[in-house]
Amino acid sequence: MQREQTPLQRIVADFARSKLALAGLAVLVLILLIAVFAPLISPQNPYDLAQLDVQDSRLPPGSRSGDGLTFWLGSDDQGRDILSGIFYGLRISLGVGVASTLCAVFIGLTMGLCAAYFGGRTDSVIMRFVDIQLSFPAILIALILLALLGQGIEKTIFALITVQWAYYARTVRSTALVERRKEYIEAAMCLALPPARIVFRHLLPNCLPPLIVIATVQVAAAIALEATLSYLGIGVPITEPSLGLLIKNGFDYMLSGKYWISFFPGIALLLTIVSINLVADQLRDVLNPRLQK
Amino acid sequence: MPPPFPGSLHSSFRALSFSMPVFIIRRLMQSVLVLCFMSLLVFVGVYAIGNPVDILINPQADQADIERAIAALGLDKPLWEQYLIFLKQALLGDLGKSFAYNIPAIQLILERMPATLELALAATGMAVLLGIPLGLWAGLAPDSWAGKLIMTGSILGFSLPTFWVGLMLIMVFAVELGWLPSNGRGPTTEFLGVAVSFLSWEGIRHLILPATNLALFKLSLIIRLTRAGTREALLQDYVKFARAKGLSNARVVGVHVLKNIMIPIVTVIGLEFGSVIAFAIVTESIFAWPGMGKLIIDSINVLDRPVIVAYLLIIVSLFILINLTVDIIYSLLDPRVRISEARG
Amino acid sequence: MASTIQTATACILRGFALFAACGVLSVHAAELRIGLAADVTSLDPHFLNVAPNNNAAWHVFDALVHVDANVRIVPGLAVSWRAIDPTTWEFKLRKGVKFHDGSDFTAEDVIFSLERPATLTASPGPFTGFVKPIIAKKIVDPWTIRFKTDAPYAMLPYDLNSIFIVSKKAATGASTEDFNSGRAAVGTGPYKFVRFARGDRIELARNDAYWGEKSAWNKVTLRILPADTTRIAALLAGDVDAIENIPTADLTRLKADANLRLEQKVSWRTLFLHMDQYRDQPPHLSDKSGKPLAKNPFKDARVRLAVSKAINRRAIVERVMEGYAIAAGNLVSPPVFGHVDALKPETYEPEAAKKLLAEAGYPDGFALTLHAPNDRYVNDDQVAQAVAQMLARVGIQAKIETMPASVYFGKARAGEFSFALLGWGSFSGDLALRALVATPNAEKGYGAWNWGRYSNPKVDTLLEQGFATLVENKREALAREAATLALKEVPVILLHHQLASWAMKKNIAYSPRTDEYTFAHHFRPQ
């Protein structure tokens, strides 16, 4: 007789079926550990200007700095050790990407659910705001916020949230509209359950799967968007570069043979995003009730 | 028709007498409000950033020259006054002249629009024509080599930053191999009154790399959507029934599965078209494609407010139009969704 | 039979003639494609005074006074000029010059061109400042004009270099669109207007009736390619023959490329840092724990000197600019009028800097924020970071904030910064001093860009004298004296002069210019 598996055990077992997803998970865990313990494992603190020397700039991988530090992956144009830069940069890129996506999801979810559930004027107002938000170029928003609030990582997160919430709101609204008309919601409504309960206990769980798919994709997009904003000079401050800003700094050297300045941070970014998505893919397949045979 | 429960009685009643024209009119009226609000946001935003005189004035100019230039552009007036002047002229159809180009902002944008639209349509077309077949393949054979490869490829598609991919494409195809031009738009010909470049082979050669660059993100998205939809659809009863009836696999997939997954995909493509235009900004910069995206970046850099305002108003209108169309089609196609206006 | 031979011979001879003509034509049927680094917003030469527009305008139009590769003035459409009395300048015009439409160039066109900028009111960068000093114009004869100024004004020839001469006939009542379409773009320059595709390219054809040296190219295309990598890739792929403004990161690689030639010259653009010297509690300045300081450290000349000594200019030139810059001891680059050779760049002495700081009362240093644009000058944000690094080493804790130029200049002018980066290019040393270190005075127009508000009345007096001195070498002596006096007190922290660079195919050469302009007619086939 087959032993009854708890839902969690089933999820884990299903997840483990894909070797690729497991590999992705391993890489992701490694990246998260690096990001968390960066200050402890980095050879250099790349954000401390007193530790940098412009005389050490643009040295190829394996060179030594004036102070005797080995630049395993070379140094960038400010004399920063690229390996340390990647470790600290992962913190910022991941932090910014995840924080902004989580907040944006929360706001978008609330807005989308309200729009779908209450309909009518609430729906119109919210959706018009969504339209406005979606047509404003992210760059203009970031520039305005920069002018008003100054530069900084929190401001970049704020800009990313402002740019992203509308997308989730719209998606959630579409799904919720479909769910809203289904019988189980009608039944709950005629049982006179309070709206909050209907929304959060009945409507929300069924809207989550597509949202999870999109959100995981969007973490990657948020990280890439932060890289683009940094490319345009309106992202994180230049003395505390994220992976995106490191890539942008090295971008100028792509044609000149000093590939390492952009290449290694690029690989790090790629691995981060790919591993996030591999894990998310498998998770989504595993959680999707419609794919259970 | 759902049974007349309290609460939903109202909605089904309304649903019966639901009228499309009213809905459209109401939506359009809201859109006007949206446009006003947008323009106000941009005004306030640009005012907060600065003014173009500081950026563009001749270094030899002294304080008096600077003040005079600012006054000549009307930028010394208080914000609310500037906005009212703008509104008054906008209602007459005049969105102002670009500070940097000295020609009407609308003309500047409409001049560049065909280039951006051409790029966006080419990219969308590429994404659809490649994405759906690849996604179908990955969905039909998810555990095969090909399926896994396609999925991994799709992940790369939206992981790599657009500007990086663009540069790689130029390096490989234009500089190293010399097969394709490194930048610019090809020669244009008149087609239905609009200048297009895809009618000549030279024009297509210039279009390939930027369109590919722009298509990559959408391609990945479509592949994933199609794969997810296919996998779900294959487990549905109607597919099992069709197979039981003895229909060939090709017919099952090509007709039944495809038809049913198309709706969400088409919806997404339609809604995403606007974001393709927004994304085009980076591609147009890298490939020196003379479209709207590059114009808006340059205008933001010099705070050319009339152009920024005109651009945003046009884009918002485009979005509203697309959203409206999609909502209408959605409600017509999927009877489960009644436009929520009815419940109001 | 004879006639057949005759016909045949005639044909063969005609064939040879044609062949020979083709040979000759092919030498002159040369086309040049240049990749420009910034967008040209309009071909109306009087609308917007920005370098890209002016660069394009120089191909189609001339001015009364031209400027050579060392930014010294030389005759243009005016063959000579002199001050006939302290407030009157007389310009003699070149005879026999024709506009592109065949009409003659006369004094009427000059007057019209000088009066046109004032009619273009909606410009964020007008040309009106250049004709302001002229209070009266008089046509003595078709080839002589006299200009009256209200006070002795030495800079008039320089100002007239900035006003392009258009054809009165073609440009009367013309709008910007008329220039962009070519209808009004009738000038006397080395090229004729063919086509302007906004944001994409400008097409020109050689003016065979040009009064000056004829260009080697009968067809010129100016491609607009603002993205650096795009521009370089275009040259490498052979889509253009020459490009300007090469990022320092790529210069070494292009230099080493056997198929390319690199031309460089010191640019007139000098980078330096302004320091707030007028407020007691300037923003962004504090002690290391964040508390405001008792007084403004920059008001003390020792602190300013210490900051200057803390900066290793050689390292900035070699590492940040990859060797493509020259350390600065003057506000203006070496070829420019008013440059003082005796003023050398400050030496790098971090120990001396620390001692000076201690003397001035800051043994533990202090904290400041360095503001800089990140998209305006070559490697601007990297230079800022390097400076911050160097200051940290002498005990000054420097934070950096960079932003796009669109945000930067407005805030700087509003006084929001205490330690800010600026780049400046000028025709002459006294003009630079007037804008950057003269005591700010809105009426006189002095110190318009003196963000730090350094003030030395002696310097102001010398400048005033200089602008009224109509004899060039006396004026230069005054300019040098003013520069020496001012720079001794470290009013700004001088960094370096940029290097302007052009890359092109091996078989063409360019005469590089300090004003960074890219002129198709100065490219020659090798």
* pLDDT beyond 50 at C16: no
Of A107-116, A155-164, B231-240, B259-268, the least confident: B259-268
- Out of B5, B148, B163, name the one closest to residue A231 (CB): B163
Which residues of chain A are within 8 Å of residue C387 when distances are taken between CB atoms? none
* pLDDT beyond 80 at B159: no
> How many residues does the structure list for chain C?
526
Q: Which amino acid is at C280?
A: D
pTM of the entire predicted model: 0.80
Q: Helix (H) and strand (E) counts for chain C?
A: 17, 22
Q: Higher confidence at residue B178 or residue C385?
A: C385
Split at pLDDT 50, 70, 90, the class of B93 is confident
Contact (Cβ atoms closer than 8 angstroms) between residue C199 and residue C133: no
pLDDT at A66: 77
Structure tokens given for C358: 């201690």
H/E run at residue C508: strand C508-510
Split at pLDDT 50, 70, 90, the class of A97 is confident
- Following CA atoms A157, A162, A166, A172 in sequence, which dihedral angle do they give, to the nearest 10 degrees? 40
- The 10s digit of each residue's pLDDT in B10-48 is 444 344 445 677 878 887 887 788 788 878 877 887 777
Packing angle of the helix pair A153-180, A204-231 (nearest 10 deg): 150
Euclidean distance between CA atoms A108 and A176, whole angstroms: 12
Is B50 in contact with C230 (Cβ distance < 8 A)?
no
* pLDDT beyond 60 at C12: no
Contact (Cβ atoms closer than 8 angstroms) between residue C195 and residue C203: yes
Q: Is C245 on the interface with A (CB under 8 A)?
A: no
* pLDDT beyond 60 at C127: yes
Percentage with pLDDT > 90 across chain B = 4
Question: Angle at the Cα of A122 (from A121 to A125), degrees rounded to 5?
Answer: 80
Residue C94 DSSP class:
P
Residue A226, classed as helix, strand or coil, is helix
Euclidean distance between CA atoms B276 and B215, whole angstroms: 8
Euclidean distance between CA atoms C237 and A293, whole angstroms: 55
Euclidean distance between CA atoms C447 and C443, whole angstroms: 11
Q: Is C119 on the interface with B (CB under 8 A)?
A: no
Euclidean distance between CA atoms C120 and B102, whole angstroms: 10
Packing angle of the helix pair B8-16, A183-190 (nearest 10 deg): 130
- The 10s digit of each residue's pLDDT in C289-308 is 888 888 999 999 999 999 99
Give which of B228, A136, A255, A203 is closest to C230, Cα–Cα.
A255
Contact (Cβ atoms closer than 8 angstroms) between residue C261 and residue C504: yes
Gyration radius of chain B over CA positions: 25
Span B135-143, average pLDDT: 83
* pLDDT beyond 80 at A292: no
Split at pLDDT 50, 70, 90, the class of C23 is very low
Euclidean distance between CA atoms B240 and C101, whole angstroms: 80
- The 10s digit of each residue's pLDDT in B55-86 is 887 777 777 888 888 888 888 888 888 888 88
Which residues of chain C are within 8 Å of residue B178 when distances are taken between CB atoms? 237-238
Structure tokens given for B163: 């500007």
CA distance to A11, A13, A21, A285, per residue, from A5 (Å): 10, 10, 21, 18
Of A267-281, B246-260, C477-491, the least confident: B246-260
Packing angle of the helix pair B305-333, B258-286 (nearest 10 deg): 170
Structure tokens given for C420: 């800010």
Q: Higher confidence at residue C231 or residue B267?
A: C231
Is A49 in contact with C386 (Cβ distance < 8 A)?
no
Q: Which amino acid is at B92?
A: L
Euclidean distance between CA atoms C96 and C103, whole angstroms: 10
b/e C90-113 (16+ beta carbons within 10 angstroms → b): bbbbbeebebbeeeebbbebbebb
Contact (Cβ atoms closer than 8 angstroms) between residue C307 and residue C272: no
Packing angle of the helix pair B201-234, B258-286 (nearest 10 deg): 140
- The 10s digit of each residue's pLDDT in C165-210 is 999 999 999 988 899 999 999 999 999 999 998 888 999 999 999 9
pLDDT at B5: 36
CA distance C359 to chain A (A): 23
Is C404 in contact with A233 (Cβ distance < 8 A)?
yes
How many angstroms separate the first and last alpha carbons of chain B?
19
Which residues of chain A are within 8 Å of residue B2 when distances are taken between CB atoms? 183, 186
- Secondary structure of chain B in the HEC alphabet? CCCCCCCHHHHHHHHHCCCHHHHHHHHHHHHHHHHHHHHHHHHHHHHHHCCHHHHHCCCCCCHHHHHHHHHHCCCCCCHHHHHHHHHHHHHCCCCCECCCCCCEHHHHHHHHHHHHHHHHHHHHHHHHHHHHHHHHHHHHCCCCHHHHHHHHHHHHHHHCCHHHHHHHHHHHHHHHCCCCCCCCCCCCEEECCEEECCCCHHHHHHHHHHHHHHHHHHHHHHHHHHHHHHHHHHCCHHHHHHHHCCCCHHHHHHHHHHHHHHHHHHHHHHHHHHHHHHHHHHHHHHCCCCCHHHHHHHHHHHCCHHHHHHHHHHHHHHHHHHHHHHHHHHHHHCCCCCCHHHHC
Which residues of chain C are within 8 Å of residue A147 when distances are taken between CB atoms? 407
Structure tokens given for A131: 């339209």
Q: Which of A17, A135, A171 to mutate to test the interface with B (most CBs of B within 10 A)?
A: A135
- Out of B57, B65, B178, name the one closest to residue C237 (CB): B178
Largest CA-CA distance found in chain B, in angstroms, rounded: 87
Q: Higher confidence at residue A6 or residue A128?
A: A128
How many angstroms separate the first and last alpha carbons of chain A?
20
B193: left (phi over 0), alpha (psi -120 to 50) or beta: left
Euclidean distance between CA atoms B274 and A136, whole angstroms: 11
CA distance to A120, A122, B161, C105, per residue, from C101 (Å): 67, 66, 51, 11
Number of B to C CB contacts under 8 A, please give it. 172
Q: Name all chains with 3 or more CB-CB pairs below 8 Å to chain B.
A: A, C
β-pairing, C88-93 with C78-85? antiparallel
Euclidean distance between CA atoms B242 and B234, whole angstroms: 11
Give which of C358, C328, C354, C353 is closest to C343, Cα–Cα.
C328
Structure tokens given for C292: 């405001």
* pLDDT beyond 50 at C22: no
- Out of B59, B183, B290, name the one closest to residue C234 (CB): B183
Q: Which of C33, C48, C336, C460 to mutate to test the interface with B (most CBs of B within 10 A)?
A: C48
Structure tokens given for C464: 């005033």
Euclidean distance between CA atoms B53 and B65, whole angstroms: 10
Euclidean distance between CA atoms B215 and B160, whole angstroms: 13
Euclidean distance between CA atoms C338 and C432, whole angstroms: 10
Contact (Cβ atoms closer than 8 angstroms) between residue C348 and residue C313: yes
Query: Is residue B75 classed exposed, middle or buried when 0-12, 13-18 and 19+ CB atoms within 10 A define those classes?
Result: buried
Q: Which amino acid is at C178?
A: D
Q: Name all chains with 3 or more CB-CB pairs below 8 Å to chain C.
A: A, B
Alpha helix stretches (DSSP H) within C221-342: 228-237, 248-256, 301-310, 313-315
Is B183 in contact with C230 (Cβ distance < 8 A)?
yes
Q: Is A54 on the interface with C (CB under 8 A)?
A: yes
Percentage with pLDDT > 70 across chain C = 94
Q: Which amino acid is at C279?
A: R
Span C94-108, average pLDDT: 93
Split at pLDDT 50, 70, 90, the class of C4 is low
Number of A to C CB contacts under 8 A, please give it. 86
- The residue of chain B nearest to residue C237, with distances taken between CA atoms, is B175
pLDDT at A252: 75
CA distance to A35, A132, A172, C240, per residue, from A113 (Å): 34, 19, 7, 55
CA distance B320 to chain C (A): 28
Residue A15, classed as helix, strand or coil, is helix
Contact (Cβ atoms closer than 8 angstroms) between residue B277 and residue B218: no
Q: Higher confidence at residue C405 or residue C137?
A: C137
- The 10s digit of each residue's pLDDT in A192-235 is 778 777 777 777 777 776 677 677 777 877 887 787 777 766 77
Residue A274, classed as helix, strand or coil, is helix
β-pairing, C201-206 with C419-425? unpaired
Query: Bridge-partner residues for A75, per DSSP?
Result: A81
Report the Cα A144 to chain-centroid distance in Å. Answer: 22
